[in-house]
Structure formats: structure tokens, C-alpha cells
Structure 1
Amino acid sequence: MLIGVVSDTHMYSRSRQLPKALTDGLRGVELIVHAGDWTNPEVVGLLEALAPVESVAGNNDGPEIVERFGRRKVLELAGRRIGLVHGDGWRAAPDTAFEAFRGESVDAVIFGHSHTPYLERREGVLLFNPGSPTDKRRELRYSFGLLRLGSEIVAEHRYYDQK
């Protein structure tokens, strides 16, 4: 199963359309997972036009997004359990995300919040932050991710320079 992974779009204050590099890169995915901070509910439809969407709300999302998606969930996909959380809290985002699922049987945790691409295996759990496709902050490039679920979980970042 091929999954597109996105977080921290923070859209509509910056743009009303998704970057072409993102839409091209998500072509053919079976599902898009968004780790929160949409900041505008209208953006959901832009991604849903590409593939079905699963998500959680981030700390910058309003009640409509929180009510629709919740703040934390476990997705069961292709025989795998994927934890999904935004990652905001008192610790660094990877630590917050990992701790959100401590004691649960998950194969991977997808998170956002920091806008920083991140990939690590910790105690047998894949931690993956796709970065941001629209708000790179201190990063050199915009980014999103792809997750392949099969006999192994393979995560990769996709980078681009212009929105």
C-alpha cells in the first residue's frame, strides 16, 4: 500500500492551491495521511480530490477540524498499526509523538508540528515527520513523505524548492 504523508500545510494565509510538486508527487497514492495544522477546513477538499484522507488536528486547527478528525488515532492499514498525532506538547515533537503511543502496539508513528523532516526507528517503532509542503520555516526545502506498507514499512521524504 502506498500512502502520501503530509503535515503543517498552514494554507489559505499563504496560498489557495496545493503546490504542483506535491500534487504530482501524491499521484497514485491510495491514501493521504495528514498530521495536522491544516489551519483551514477548505484545504481538506484539495487533498481529498487526490485520494481519501485520514488526519488528526494540530494545535493551530479550529474546532471544525478537531471535531472531524480528533487529535490522536491509530490507523489499521495493510496489516499495520500506524499512530497518528500532531506532535505538539512540552517535549520535542519526535519525543511527544513517541510518548503518545508508548505502551501501545504500533508499527509506526506519523507526526508533524516542527515542520522538520524526521525519520528514525526507536524501540522498533518508525517515527516519521514529512516536514511541510507549504511552510518550510527554517528548512532549506519544502517536503512531504511517502510510506510503503508491505512486508516492511518504508518511509521516504520528497523535497522540492518552489511552491
Structure 2
Amino acid sequence: MKLGIVSDTHMPRSAKTLPKALVEGFQDVDRILHAGDWQSMWVYEELSLLAPVEGVAGNTDGWDIADRFGQRKILTLNGWTIGLIHGDGIGKTTEMRAYDAFQGDGVDLIIFGHSHIPLKVEHGGVLLFNPGSPTDKRRQPQYSFGLITLGETIQAEHVFFDDKS
């Protein structure tokens, strides 16, 4: 199973359309997971044209998105247990807030966003993955999203690109 991983789209503030690199990268995914800060349900509608979409709300999302998706999810996909959260909050790093949010849940993978910093690291036997942002790279050198393949193992990679149009 191949997943497209995205977070922090911040649309339409940061972009008026989904970046071409993201659309092309998600052409053959089975499902898309969005880790919050959509800012518009339009993002969900556009991503849904590519594959079924699951997601959570982020700290800049309105009640329409929060009510639709919630703040935290645990998904079981292809035999793997995945925690999905935005990662905002007080204290600790974004990475550790995401990790702590799923303590005791037996997750194999935690997908989060918020920091806009691409990250792939294992902590306590759990893979933590932040795709970065495809539209608001902040201080990062490139825009990014993620692709994860769930097979006998979890294969996670970032896709980096320069042009968000």
C-alpha cells in the first residue's frame, strides 16, 4: 500500500492551487494522509480527486475542519498501526509532542506536521515522520511532501521540490 503524506498546506494563503509536484507525486497512491493546517476544505476536495483522504485538524484550521477530521487518529492500514496528529501544543518539541500523544497505543508509525520541518527518525521503536510543507517551506531550502509504502516493512521518503506552482 502506498500513501501520500502531506501537512501544512495553509491554502489558499500559501498557494492558490496544489503544487504540480505534489499532484504528480500522488498519482499512484492508494490513500492520502494530511496532518493538519489545511485551512480550507477545498484542499480536501482537491486531494480527494487523487485518492481517498484521511486527516486531522491543525491549530490554524477552523471548526469545519476540526469537526470533520478531529485532532488525533489511529489508523490500521495494511497491518500497520499509524498515529496521525498535527503536533502543536505547549512544551517539548513538535516531534516529542507527537510521540507522547500515542504512548501506550502500540503504533508503528506517527505522522505529524506543524513545524514545517521534514523529519524521519525512529524513537522508541516507532517511526516518526513529518512531511514538511508543499506550500510554506519557511526556513527550509525546499518544499516537501512524503511517500510511505506499507509492505513487510515501512518505507518512508521525502520528496523535495523548488517550485510550489
TM over 0.5: yes
Unaligned stretches of 5+ residues in structure 1:
none
The CA deviation string for residues 45-86 of structure 1, in whole angstroms up to 9 with x for no partner, is 111111100000000000000000000010010011000000
Q: Which residue of 1 aligns with 2:69?
A: 69
Instruction: Check if 1:84 corresponds to 2:84.
Output: yes
TM-score by length of 2: 0.97
CA RMSD, 1 decimal = 0.6
Q: Which residue of 2 aligns with 1:46?
A: 46
How far apart are residue 14 of structure 1 and its match?
2.9
How far apart are residue 15 of structure 1 and its match?
2.5
The CA deviation string for residues 91-134 of structure 1, in whole angstroms up to 9 with x for no partner, is 21100000000111100000000000000011110000000000
How far apart are residue 16 of structure 1 and its match?
2.2
Give the Cα–Cα distance (whole angstroms) in 2 for the partners of residues 14 and 125 of structure 1.
31
Give the Cα–Cα distance (whole angstroms) in 2 for the partners of residues 153 and 41 of structure 1.
29
What is the SS of the residue equivalent to 2:76? strand
Instruction: Check if 1:37 corresponds to 2:41.
Output: no
Q: Which residue of 2 aligns with 1:127?
A: 128
Give the Cα–Cα distance (whole angstroms) in 2 for the partners of residues 60 and 37 of structure 1.
6
> Percent identity over the alignment?
56
Q: Which residue of 1 aligns with 2:156?
A: 155
Give the Cα–Cα distance (whole angstroms) in 2 for the partners of residues 16 and 115 of structure 1.
18
Q: How does 1:49-60 map to 2 (within 5 A)?
A: 49-60=49-60
What is the SS of the residue equivalent to 2:22? helix
Give the Cα–Cα distance (whole angstroms) in 2 for the partners of residues 43 and 151 of structure 1.
31
What is the SS of the residue equivalent to 2:8? coil
Q: Which residue of 2 aligns with 1:141?
A: 142
Give the Cα–Cα distance (whole angstroms) in 2 for the partners of residues 76 and 93 of structure 1.
23
What is the SS of the residue equivalent to 1:51? coil
The CA deviation string for residues 143-162 of structure 1, in whole angstroms up to 9 with x for no partner, is 00001101101110000001
Which of structure 1's runs of 4+ aligned residues deviate more than 2 A?
none
**AA aligned opposite 2:110:** V
